[in-house]
Amino acid sequence: MLSSARHAFARAPHRAFSTTSTRAYDVSKLILIGRLGKDPEVRTTKSDKEYASYTVATTNYPPPPPNPDGSRQEAGTTWHHVICFNPGQTNYLRTLQKGAQVYVEANFELRDADPSADSSSVQAQRQIFLRHETIRVIRQAPSHSETHE
């Protein structure tokens, strides 16, 4: 029995630290836990396809290491822009509000800068596109009455 298991394992593809490409195992996923920076917006593409766009703010914690003089920079906030093309999720995203703490899983794509673009434009910069996969609300946004008390 052990012999047959050994042979089956030997025939299985080995990919540990391989430099050759394989699409069956490649994953590029980003997990964010943060707060919605504003209410999600529903927009329409040029081909009349509806999509939702939302922003998640995360705090870089722990803060960066101390400077040589011993002082420490404040932990910074990073803003992540996420796009969702799933119609069912788009309807759900409409119900969320700014300030809600969320858990987001997104696929990401890194796009190189367009060398022919104007150097001051967004296209002339390297961009990360986050495509929404899953969102879960951890904590609802505080109501206005809670924030003014």
pLDDT tens, position by position, 70-120: 887 777 888 999 999 998 899 999 999 999 999 999 998 888 878 887 877
Per-residue pLDDT, 148: 47
Beta strands in the chain (DSSP E): 29-36, 41-44, 50-59, 77-84, 101-111, 127-139
Residue 91 or 60, more confident:
91
User: Who's near 99: CB < 8 A, 6+ residues apart?
Assistant: 35, 36, 141, 142
Least-confidence region, from 11-20, 64-73, 92-101, 124-133: 11-20
